[in-house]
């Protein structure tokens, strides 16, 4: 971190942080201890704020993956292949990541409540209107608009939690917040498949979350609070220029390495979440005694995804909190171990999908549990190695990198590889590929996710080398600026 850019909220000149400033560090520890001891003074509205953020995050991920639950019907109606189907998610994520830095800049300086209400309102309106569009290009355009709306929320919400709580309480609240990601994703498959099946039209699956979003906007405007930046840590550091923010983040080794690792996570989750139901459906229907519909398969896949989140996110938080007491580098080590365990489980599940019914779901569950260990821990790491007035920018920077090289391209890349393999695997390229060819092409394309998981695990292990020093640097920076105003 570029410490020369850290300035207290006083008239004092810029400070150079001394790495041996024991008095500053002691002061910070005393303040944080007092904060934890007075947690009984945490108001009901602060917990309500976390509840609102979790609710919005839940419907956020429901909305993202509702379409994945009915992807087969979408392909049929628009007459598109795997590459164009993957492009739908890529358009959404590209818009999401491009606008994230804009909202993060505003989020570090303007009213976060107003920004979030605007974004959630935009995504609700565009999702609802897009459900009536019959032209594929226009439909893809509206998916992009949905991504813009969601970018305003995702870059800001974690920083509000960090400004309300510290220490283990912050970790628990972030775990609750990120718990909504796999659960919301699973509910997206379920809502998409059930609503589409009940109405006889997949478009009705897209019309559920907009009404929930209206409730979310009301809660943001009239229930949620917007605390001062760094309030929980008594931080007196004021914002620096956007250029200084980016320069400091690039120099922050643990932040950059964890961002690269999280990019691998985003790549894997993006590809598996988008193509998982379709792949398993193709494999199971190749078995002679299996009779299953894509709607039922999406429902099962959604339940598996939900249960893996219910298990994995709290387990990761518990492991991180328990091991952190003895091993300061535990957070990145838990994340790295999770990815390295997830890769063989998911890879083996793909290999056995054609021959077994229950085994692929069990292995997929185990792989997703290991993958979900990192959600809350990564967020916590990204916050405590960055000074308070720079955290929205850090969130957006991480979102930009992880989505640009992660799930922005992975659904489309897998679709393109699959379409290319179909042509090479088909006996006659001019004919419609058989179901076995479609399955094998998608299977081979999805194997790339296993290699990316291993790469992500390595990046997390490298993060462990620098995480302790970078966290101590931030703690000293906050303590020194606090000393200046006493």
Residue 16 banded pLDDT, cuts 50, 70, 90: very low
CATH architecture, domain defined by 40-228+242-484: Up-down Bundle (1.20)
- The whole-number pLDDT of residue 14 equals 33
**Residue 364 scores a pLDDT above 90:** yes
Map out the domains of the chain as residue ranges. 40-228+242-484
- The whole-number pLDDT of residue 456 equals 95
Closest CA to 199 of 209, 188, 207, 210: 207
**Residue 62 scores a pLDDT above 90:** no
- The whole-number pLDDT of residue 12 equals 35
Chain centroid to CA 159: 14
For residues 481 and 279, the model is more confident at: 279
For residues 254 and 428, the model is more confident at: 254
Distance CA 427, CA 425 (A): 6
Average pLDDT over residues 345-358: 92
Residue 223 banded pLDDT, cuts 50, 70, 90: confident
Average pLDDT over residues 220-229: 83
Number of H helices, E strands in the chain: 19, 0
Q: How far is CA 362 from CA 89, 304, 307, 452, 467, in A?
A: 26, 8, 11, 21, 34
**Residue 9 scores a pLDDT above 70:** no
- The whole-number pLDDT of residue 83 equals 75
- Interval 333-348: pLDDT, tens: 999 999 999 999 999 9
Determine contact, residues 320/445, Cβ cutoff 8 Å: no
Distance CA 262, CA 398 (A): 8
- Token digits for 427? 């006996």
- The whole-number pLDDT of residue 28 equals 52
- Interval 370-413: pLDDT, tens: 998 988 888 788 878 988 778 777 877 887 788 778 877 888 88
Mean pLDDT of the chain: 81
- Interval 146-203: pLDDT, tens: 888 777 777 788 888 878 887 777 778 888 887 777 888 888 878 887 887 788 888 8
Average pLDDT over residues 420-442: 80
Distance CA 158, CA 218 (A): 19
For residues 166 and 17, the model is more confident at: 166
Question: N- to C-terminal Cα distance for the chain?
Answer: 25
Residue percentage of the chain with pLDDT more than 70: 86
237 forms beta bridges with 8
**Residue 238 scores a pLDDT above 80:** no
- The whole-number pLDDT of residue 430 equals 63
- The whole-number pLDDT of residue 452 equals 95
**Residue 262 scores a pLDDT above 70:** yes
- The whole-number pLDDT of residue 342 equals 96
DSSP 225: -
Find the helix or strand (DSSP H, E) in which 40 lies.
none
- Token digits for 451? 């290699």
Q: Which residues of 172-181 are buried (b: 16+ CB within 10 A; e: fewer)?
A: bbbbbbbbbb
**Residue 218 scores a pLDDT above 70:** yes
Closest CA to 370 of 409, 404, 445, 319: 319
Name, in order, each residue with C-beta under 8 angstroms of 329's C-beta and a sequence gap of 6 or more: 464, 465, 467, 468
Average pLDDT over residues 90-110: 78
- The whole-number pLDDT of residue 8 equals 42
Average pLDDT over residues 113-140: 88
**Residue 7 scores a pLDDT above 50:** no
- Interval 20-53: pLDDT, tens: 445 555 555 555 555 444 444 557 788 889 899 9
- Interval 76-99: pLDDT, tens: 888 887 778 878 877 887 888 788
- The whole-number pLDDT of residue 42 equals 53
For residues 331 and 85, the model is more confident at: 331
Residue 484 banded pLDDT, cuts 50, 70, 90: low
- The whole-number pLDDT of residue 295 equals 75
Q: How far is CA 106 from CA 266, 306, 381, 389, 392, in A?
A: 25, 33, 22, 12, 9
**Residue 235 scores a pLDDT above 70:** no
């Amino acid at each position: 971190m570029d410490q020369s850019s850290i300035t207290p909220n006083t008239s004092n000149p810029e400070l150079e942080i001394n790495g041996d400033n024991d008095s500053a560090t002691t002061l910070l520890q005393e303040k944080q201890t007092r904060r934890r001891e007075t947690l009984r003074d945490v108001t009901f509205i602060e917990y309500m704020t976390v509840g609102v953020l979790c609710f919005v995050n839940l419907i956020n991920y429901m909305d993202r993956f509702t379409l994945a639950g009915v992807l087969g019907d979408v392909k049929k109606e628009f007459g598109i292949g795997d590459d164009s189907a993957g492009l739908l998610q890529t358009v959404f994520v590209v818009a999401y990541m491009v606008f994230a830095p804009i909202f993060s800049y505003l989020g570090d300086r303007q009213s976060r409540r107003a920004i979030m209400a605007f974004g959630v309102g935009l995504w609700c309106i565009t999702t609802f209107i897009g459900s009536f569009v019959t032209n594929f290009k226009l439909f893809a355009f509206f998916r992009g608009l949905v991504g813009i709306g969601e970018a305003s929320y995702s870059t800001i919400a974690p920083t509000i939690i960090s400004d309300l709580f510290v220490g283990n309480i912050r970790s628990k609240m972030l775990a609750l917040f990120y718990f909504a990601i796999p659960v919301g994703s699973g509910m997206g498959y379920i809502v998409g498949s059930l609503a589409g099946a009940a109405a006889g039209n997949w478009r009705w699956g897209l019309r559920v979350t907009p009404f929930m979003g209206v409730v979310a906007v009301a809660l943001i405007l009239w229930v949620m609070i917007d605390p001062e930046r760094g309030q929980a840590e008594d931080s007196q550091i004021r914002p620096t220029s956007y250029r200084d923010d980016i320069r400091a983040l690039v120099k922050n080794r643990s932040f950059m390495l964890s961002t690269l690792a999280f990019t691998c996570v985003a790549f894997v989750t993006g590809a598996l979440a988008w193509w998982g139901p379709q792949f398993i459906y193709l494999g199971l229907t190749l078995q002679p005694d299996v009779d299953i519909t894509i709607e039922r398969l999406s429902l099962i896949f959604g339940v598996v995804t939900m249960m893996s989140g219910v298990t994995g996110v709290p387990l990761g938080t518990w492991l991180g909190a328990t091991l952190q007491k003895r091993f300061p580098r535990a957070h990145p080590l838990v994340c790295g171990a999770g990815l390295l365990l997830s890769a063989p489980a998911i890879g083996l599940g793909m290999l056995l999908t054609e021959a077994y019914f229950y085994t692929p779901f069990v292995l997929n569950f185990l792989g997703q549990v290991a993958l979900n260990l990192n959600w809350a821990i990564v967020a916590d790491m990204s916050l405590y190695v960055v000074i308070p007035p720079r955290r929205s920018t850090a969130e957006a920077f991480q979102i930009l990198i992880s989505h640009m090289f992660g799930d922005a391209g992975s659904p489309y890349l897998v679709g393109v590889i699959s379409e290319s393999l179909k042509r090479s695997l088909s006996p006659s390229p001019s004919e419609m590929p058989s179901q076995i060819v479609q399955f094998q092409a998608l299977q081979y394309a999805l194997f790339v996710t296993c290699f990316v998981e291993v790469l992500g695990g390595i990046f997390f292990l490298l993060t462990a080398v620098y995480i302790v020093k970078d966290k101590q640097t931030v703690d000293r920076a906050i303590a020194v600026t606090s000393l200046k105003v006493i």
